[in-house]
Structure 1
């Protein structure tokens, strides 16, 4: 994961602001992994494309594995932050769930390349990193599922289908977005997101 190591010189001091170095590395790594594949992309190619030295890269990332991990981890962190804000608000439950569902579709579409690359190459990460990603993703799904379970307990949502099945069905569709959604198509990301949210809420109607 990204981090600044204490006691080491600031990298890339003559270039853009230090904060932009990890973003540049992740941006070019995403493109290279998409074009060539994770296993066929070297660290040297990444640093040359980013315009930094290997020393600058290793200031932030321990390895190429860390780049791949962070490509997805930053998306998951963004989605988790969004979900926590929505779930913890005072809005009615149906509104919170609809907003959470719509938000995750929009952010997934905004990061389609990152997610597709990670899913295609995740098996090449170390077992420890794979376990870490799965644990964080599970925490996100559990928080999302808790909104459904709240509605089931209150009688607002149907109870004849397990919340886990409903949520897994929804996220199966979200994860499939990368196979068919294209920028500039007939629907915007927000329009697709609203349709997904409407379908989820419709499937939960108790009457």
Structure 2
């Protein structure tokens, strides 16, 4: 039932927007009572947070896997950069809904979500810094700026990417990762 509520909320938030979707519409479409919904979620805000959190959890688990692999640092950063694009594209409704509606969450919820996302970005930054310390990546650009620049692009995928567009998500992911690594190469 929890997954059904999330699926219905995701669909309705994508179609109508978070602010234009009522709890009653969600429970009616899911075929459950409000009491059943409140058993799983404290509020509509809680639904929105979970929609984003499930993608972020997936990305965090996968980033940990790439970071801990025995591959060269450039390969690990490339894989992690491509993966965040692929997982964002694969969960595009979730990502779009969240970035469109995050400002409507309660301030404490916004703060908690930002902290979760910041931990992910910090782990990604740690990989960039590892490459800088090893001399594989240029070190004249702060790793924080590299990460902010890269994720600024990632967070806007929902504004322009379409599944029926000319490039599949995996190709875009490879291009983004290639661009990131090209920008990190030390000057010759």
Q: Are 1:120 and 2:100 counterparts?
A: yes
Q: Are 1:141 and 2:121 counterparts?
A: yes
Alignment of 1:1-207 (within 5 A): 21-206=1-186, 207=188
Higher relative contact order (CA 8 A, sep 6+): 2
Deviations 1:19-51 (A, max 9, x none): xx1221111111212222222211111011111
Q: Distance in 1 between matches of 2:177 and 2:69?
A: 18
Q: Distance in 2 between matches of 1:44 and 1:177?
A: 31
Q: TM-score, normalised on structure 2?
A: 0.96
Q: Distance in 1 between matches of 2:156 and 2:16?
A: 22
Deviations 1:132-177 (A, max 9, x none): 0000000000000101101111111101111111111111111111
Corresponding position of 1:16:
none
* Structure 1 moving runs of 4+ over 3 Å: none
Q: Distance in 2 between matches of 1:144 and 1:150?
A: 10
Structure with bigger gyration radius = 1
Q: TM-score, normalised on structure 1?
A: 0.87
Q: CA deviation at 1:118?
A: 1.2
Structure 1 unaligned blocks of 5 or more: 1-20
The answer to which structure has the higher helix fraction is: 2
Q: Size of the alignment, in residue pairs?
A: 187
Q: Distance in 2 between matches of 1:199 and 1:100?
A: 13
